[in-house]
Amino acid sequence: MNVSDLMTLYDYNYWANRRILAAAAQLSPEELVAPQNLSWGSIRDVLVHTLGAEWLWRIRCQEHRSPSTMLDPQQFPTVESIATRWAEEEKAMRAYLASLTEDNLSQPLAYVTTAGRPFSSTLWHILVHVVNHGTQHRAEIAQVLTQLGHSPGDLDMILYDREMAEGGSDSPS
């Protein structure tokens, strides 16, 4: 893995997040928090879980400390509040990724899970995991958004790639 390829994965990740957030912004407040057949309950809760996982892994990787809790969905009552926090996280993650070298990426990182269990993983595996985790949860949310009449459209990486090749306006921040 190299830093440039990793940055491309994160560019895609944030492009896809923005599409999900734009579709979710069309929901009523009740639809946002209504229990769904999702891994974390409501659309809001899955969004906050995904954001929280990204934040948690960045803290583990960048600051070498392991937060003991995830973000609280109750602190994010609206899609706008989630999007605002995600924009801050994106900026922090991009700055962290820009500081890395290929040598950094191949190093092991020791961390502790929120349950207190110690692990070690190669840094680039962790950073790719964050994108893959986001893909899983975006797919869940996209299905429910589509059922509610607010499809985010296709979220495939190849579509992101084509859009960027054609001079798409959703270029990295």
Going by the annotation, the residues of the binding site are: 49, 133, 137
CB 23 within 8 A of CB 152: yes
Phi/psi at 84 (5° precision): -65, -45
Annotated binding-site ranges for a divalent metal cation: 49, 133, 137
